Structure 1
Amino acid sequence: MKTLCKAPAKLILSGEHAVVNGCPAISMAIDLPMFCEVTSEAIDAHQYPFVEIELVDCHQKHAFPFAIWQQMAIDIESRYQLFESGAMSIRSVLKQPVDLVLTTLHHFHHHFKLQSMHWDIKIYGHGLLGKGLGSSAAVIVSLLHSLFKHHHKAINTIEILSLAKTIESRQHGHSSGIDPTTIFQGGLLYYQQNKPFQPLTAHNFNAWLIDTGTPESTTGQVVNHVKSRFPAEHPIWNHFTQITEDIRNAWQDQDSFCLKESIQKNQTLLEEIGIVPDKVKRFIKELEQNPDQVAKVCGAGNHKGQNGGVLLCLSPLPPLELCYRYGYNCIAINLSPKGSHCELV
């Protein structure tokens, strides 16, 4: 049996870091897909079950007998417990890219029992890894979706998203669940932890994704850094909540002036919590000298170094000349109304 699963990327329109503290956020699925090909083959009685994994964007291939990958996954869980107790950095939990695949297999196996077969897993996509596009969540969701299909399990939204949130915590520390939910559902969502998400109506808009480079810090490291300086009870999160409400209202009313004004305010708050590198601040300041253009960091950002991941830019035309001067890439953003989907091939 062979399946192909396609999962979109995600951008957070408003609510980075705030969503981890229980505040609402607005996110969108965008058409930058991650693909997961999974083949399962029955084995003879004298053969041992095996897993082969190819991570195309990381230029890596791995092969593990079941006993080996299961022990590696148990070691990952042990490291996560050390992180939870404060004895280890989140960056030390998943030591290599394949660990995310192994921990996904482990948690699926723990809940549903992975069939003893020969498994071949190939994952590839846009290559913009670690930049705020939800790549980890896309890997998790697309692989879980594939495994559900191979085990002839009906897709239960609550079940798969709960499992994805647990797995993503091994990558980022404490997942809010917004990335897996957006990628699984597609479209534009108003999201708050422990509450049903609300789909928002999609409208046409001119937006650009600007790649400022891979941050020197991981998402988990930046989240923990912000938490140490701005705990959940800090009043700044109320300001984030208000901005998110303003952006939702502006979006629903198709009020482009209020939308751009609110995105500027959001960016100011992100600078205040210290996750926008100086070079990126300068770029945005230059960009906004044109009153028709605004931009903000999307994703965790960076608390050290000069790379900030991706920016969301609202502008009638792409700011190609400015991007060229800063060495940034710029591509059009297209909303993906469809979330993760899996088919037999």
Structure 2
Amino acid sequence: MSRSLVETRRPPPPRARPRARVLSRASTSSVVARVERLGNPHAIDDDSIAHDVRYESDVFQCDGRAAYSTFRSSTTTRERRDLRELERAASARAVGPSAYVVRWSASFVPAKTRALYDLALNWPFGELEIEKRDILDKIGETSRFTYRALFRVLARAVREKKMRIPIAKIEGVSELTFDDDGKLTRHVERLTLVREMNAGRVRNKRIARDVLEYLDAWKPPGMSLERWDEIVEDKVDVYAVPGMRQLDVDGLEEDFADGGRVEDATALLGFFTLIILAFGFGFGSWYLARAHQQLELVRALDAALDA
């Protein structure tokens, strides 16, 4: 009786992945991890940028590693220098083998709130609890100044030892695309508030001013402020926001002329009394004059009250 021989075939060994591709993916993951850690989609080293990289945002475009590196370096430096108490956060999600979507935010104390923030930091009646809060939930509300809001903010600071500081918060989405060598080839960036302004959904001039202050830090090196302002105004519908035109003046709303805010006079008297009792007549008079002249403090108070 003969035995039949059955040939046993083993499956072929798995094909080894190219070492270069494995390394490039590891390099890409490292770059994205750094972006998340620093909260900044511009936090990419020159060695990780392709020579033919393309950058595109709502207001600026450039091509080539030299131009992109100069822009991102300048932007990072200006943000740290000009945006007070800057805080960043970012999260990334892979949408392909070499593509990521980064959602990020940048929060800072805007120029129009700095006087109020300085007052809170130097409060003369002991420690004051400072509550920072963005006002993005007020995006569709028309903002205006009232002395009643001013009085209530400072009265709360005296009674409860708390002051709410409205801060700016800018949110954006960046799409990062890498090549097979792990080099960045494309960076597309959009600001959420620019989209909302261009769609006519922003009614709050404080938020509109926050956007403009943030975009000031994005001015490319070598470009004049005048030219940059022209570009921003061309790309962002700033004047669709109530109160943002050059002839718009804070405090001159229709209900003021109609007597609808006469009650502010009572609050104003209380505000004068509070300041004088708190700081003394000399300092109180000086502070009120300064706040009236510069308007840095008063423009933020409605937002501080409602935030």
TM-score, with normalisation over the residues of structure 2? 0.28
Q: Which has the higher helix share?
A: 2
TM-score, with normalisation over the residues of structure 1? 0.25
- Greater RCO, CA 8 A, separation 6+: 1
